[in-house]
Structure 1
C-alpha cells in the first residue's frame, strides 16, 4: 500500500481487532472455481491481469485498497499476474446507513424539547448534542426529524466520510481503533460504508454545544429586544390615539360652537348668478368663518369626499390659476367668472385643466385630494367677489 508498509498495516489490523471475535479471510476457492465467481455474499475472487494495480482494482470495485490487502492477506501492494485476490464488495446491496448498537433512533414528536428528550432517556443535553452534532438549536426540534439517543456508550456520533475508514476516524480523534470497533460492534472494517454512523466513545461535542448555547442566548436577547420595541410601538400608538381623540373632541366643540354662531345665509337666485355644487356625494366638515386647524378665520367651506372624486366647475368661466400653491392650498384651481366673481378649488390630488382654458359649469377641473395644508381628502371651496371672500352657501342651491 502506498505510504504505509504492509507490515505496519498488519500491525494496525492485529491491534484493532485483537480483542474482537476472530474473523479470518475466506479461503480461496479451488482451481475449478471461475475467476469472478462470488465466493460469499459480498465477496468476489479476482485474478490479477497484466497491468493491474491494487489501486486500480480497488477503484474498479469501489472499495478501499486496504480492505483488499486485509481480506487477501497481502504483505504489500505489489501484485503478480495470475494472483488471486479476495475482494469485499461493500456495495453489494442497498441498505440504510448503519447505526451503532446501543444508539437508539428516536422520531421527534410534536411538543418535544431537547431537554425533555434528554431527561426522558436519562442522558445529559451535552451527550444528546454529541450524538446529534448537526443540531441547529437547543430550543426548536422539528416534528418527524430523527434524534440519535446514546443508550450505552456515550460519545460523538459522526457519519463516515467518503474515502475514510474506522481506523482513519480513530486516528483523527486520537482514539484506539480497538475501542472504536468495540463501541460500534465492528468485526470487519469492510462492513462500514460511507454514510454509516460511527460512535466515537468519550468524545463530546463541546464546541457545538457552546455554539448552540450562544445562539440560544442570542435568540433570547433578540426576543427581548423585539418585545421591547413592540411595547414601545404600542405606547406610541396609544399616545397618538389619545392625541387624535383630543383633536377630534376639540374639532367637535368648534363645529358645535360655529353652528350656534353661524351667520344668516342670504340665498341668491340662479338669475342673480347662483352656482352649482362642485362635488356630488360629500359632507360639509367646516363652514365659512369657523376656526380651522391652520387658520383663525375659515375663508370657505370644506367638503369631505373620497380621494379621487371628480371636482366640477361651479359656474362657467376661464381658468385663471391651475397649479401648486405655496400658502397651503396645495394643487388648486381659480376660475374667473367675470364681474369680479372668482371661485377657488383647493387640495386637489390632480388638476384636469390649464391656465387660460374656458370651462363650462359642471365640467371636471380636477380631483379630490389632500395636498397642501390638509388633514384628509376634501375640497376647500371659496367664492370671492371683488377680491373679498364671501360665504359660498349664499351662492349654492
Structure 2
C-alpha cells in the first residue's frame, strides 16, 4: 500500500500523464474436484465384468453393487453404472501376512481354501463382503491370510485401531502386533485391519444357506428340463404313431374295393341319440368361454350312440385334446361327424357303418362334467351348426 500511495502522489506532482498501475487480480486457491461419480455403460457383445473392471480400473464387485447385479453375468444391451473414484495418494494398507489374490475364472471358495490350506470359514472371515461361496467374480480381489487368521475389516471413518479392538473385546496391543503396526495412529480410514481370532460365523452360515438354496434351485431347474425333454420325446413319439396310423389307413383304403358312398345332402342326418336333452348349443357361450363347436346331448350313462349318417370310421380312440373316447365318421364329400366323451367305443378305424348303427355308448371321458354326447358336424374341416343338418 505504501508503494501505491507514493506512486499516486508522484503522479499528481508530475506534469506527465501516467497510465494506471495494473493491480494483481484476486485469486483463491482451491483443491482439485474429486473424480467421483458413475459412467453409464451399455453392454456390447463380448463384454465381461472382469474386462470392464480392468478397463475402468475398478473392482468388479463395485460394478455389481452399483448396477444391482446378482452375479457376474451380463446381457447385451444391459445398462451398467461403473463407479469412478479418484486414485488416492496411496493404496489402503494391507496387514503383513495377508496376500491380495486376483480371482481367476473357475475359482471357488472351496478350491482356494484347499490350495492355500485354509478352511472356508477362514476365507470368509478374511473376506466378509463375499456374496457367494461358489460364484467368485473373475478379476476381483480375495484376501488370503498367510499368518494369523481372523476377521479382516476396513477401518471405519472416525475409528482408530484402539477403539476397533475394544469394540471386538480384543487387546489393542495384540491387534497392533497382528497388523505389524508400531504407531496405531498411523492407520487411516480404509486401511485393512486384521482382528485375530475373530470369525465371521454368522456370515459363513448365511452363505452356506444361500449355497444350499442355489443348489436346490439348480436341481429343480434340471428336473424341469428333464421333464420337458421327456414331454417333447413323448410328443414326438405320439406324432410318429399318428403319422404311421395315417399311412396305414391310406394303404388300407387303397387296397379296399370301391364301395358305394352316400352323397351329402343338407338335412340328411338322423339324431345320434334317443331320450336326450340338449344342454349346450353351437356357438359362443360367453365372454370368457371357448367357442362351442358342436351340441351337447345329455343322456344316461351307457345310452347307445348311433351313426348320424352312413360312412367310414376315420378315428376311434382316445383324444388328448379333451374329447376322451371319441369316434369320427367320414361321410364323403368333405363331410364328417364327431361323437365325443364315450364310455366305450363299439367300432374300429376303417370300418364302414350304416346310419343308425351303434358306434359307442354315452360316457363322461375327457373334459366332461357329466354323462353326455358332444356331437359335431364338419364340412371341409370347418365346424358347422349340427342343428342345420338334423331333422
TM-score by length of 2: 0.46
Question: Whose Rg is larger?
Answer: 1
